[in-house]
Structure 1
């Protein structure tokens, strides 16, 4: 029993297990959370914010941000797929070389400011001004593409059409091999937000200063490069609640502080609850997206039918189109000459992105009775695939330019982009 408690049911192994499960179950969560925040922001400044249509984004952002503000960055330390990638890369590199680059503390502090510059730059240029700096090919989108289950883009074609995102990802991977949590420390815009929010957390690391030696094992073990040794309480927003410093202390001098109580077991339980709550929010948002897509595809066309018969031949037809990761198949119902309903039969695309593309495209096609409409920004490939599938079902010609576009989701549902990523 003691062996199980010490070797299996310890915080290090439990965290690793949770990371693996989260990597599989919530691969796109980090992209979806950041994209949802962007969606809310853009809809607000453009004056078309709707509580109903933005509900999935609001649920996800509210849950993740509130948990981070109150309990700390368990999102980053326990369930972010990109963070798990960084941990895995550094683990492999260390096992092979036995070395890890320790960045000078002052330089590390200065480099950590880069993620705030990335965040501010994204808000000003991409979110507010709509400048398309990366063609939708940021590194976490590329990463999400290759870690999603289902069909994958053909490798050489993907590299060619998305060279910038792949190139950035390669740089991030190389950095992660030699510097622990390289991307999380220096480049992650979501990490910048969490770093600010988590300063209010109630879970902190406390150290009995009078029982502390000069080994600095706690500081050396910190994934985020926090100088823990001289502090009695770790208040840094960079802390990701990995608890590696606690496990590294030879004197067992560090404790997890919850208010006035100390309990490592409770903290691990809270970590699992945070991961579970975030996962539920993720799937709830995806489900609502799917429901909205179904509801919005059934647009009322009574006013159109009163004007007489439409131009299409009545019936139910199936068509296919090329989306982001493979073939999309839809069913199109025509009544009284008008497109009445569009439903998805199958798709190889990521569902959170596809649902929002379908949400927009199906509504616009039925409302305008025209297949060629503006694609949904951030889901251009899925949008083009849906339009091609509808056109194919109706026997119309449609030029799908996905092969000429740089690949990448670039976020979620932010309006119309006239076919440009």
Structure 2
């Protein structure tokens, strides 16, 4: 299946033992698959791309994939001839069956399969502001694997499943996403626990890269442009890496899609760094970040921007851009998409739509360019017609100052 070696995305150094970082330059680990040709398997969902996923097996009960289709409604509104939409969410009329309504399911399924393949018996630890936690809770409940979620208290209402919750422990964090990450890292360093890994998780990136693979499978070519809203930017890195594999195949194009990545201003670290404005935490605190954002899941204080193989390398290599989208433009874009395409979308996805509108109006894209727009979440209203949701209860609440006793209690529970 997905046989590979692991190399540094910066210097190309061979990495041993599933290393999360290169000892020479700190670069991201990248999978170098033995299979060089793009030949999707006759398997369901994301597992059809199993040759380019770092897993040995697959679970037929997980792994719903994104669905790519050629737009008519939004394309007509923007005067575009070849606009393609990748939809990750719940829209059965289009064949989209992600019940957590977010492309984070593309990360969760291969990550949990990779953990099962390793047979280490470890409990996964995930920090999230909402969508990622929901996706992992759903997948782990289906596969009966243990999971600990660290979620800011303000985001707890976003954590639900469409199945009966399994061995999932939810920890409410008195703070923001960065604080949740700190606590998750502390627990992950202890025996019996494994960190999800964020941008350094190869299963996460290669899972998200299937968005690009699905487009190539359906339309037999690479797009000229790729639009996505980002928090950390890991999705953009993933599509860049998948594009390089497709180019190496030689049958679907020779040029990388231009990465058009968008953040919600003013809480936009990647956008600020790209435009040379820095990203000091104190600056964001002055704006009250992430409160008041159109969607605060797009805020990550420590994105993998300058690391070798990170966001900066991906955008420069592809000749792309990074956009700053304020709330008013995101709201307008969300209304435009839902009216023209006929499905509800998550607020984060509307930031990508707004970036596309900006690119059209500024002339950065031509009306005959092949454009792939990643709608990273949607269909929550549509889901309610077919499925009920089970809200996960918060098992305990902790802050950075009183965390030690709580983490010790968690260790005892999972011992």
| Both proteins in one fold, TM over 0.5 | no
Structure with bigger helix share is: 1
Mark the structure with the bigger radius of gyration: 1
TM-score norm. by structure 2 comes to 0.24
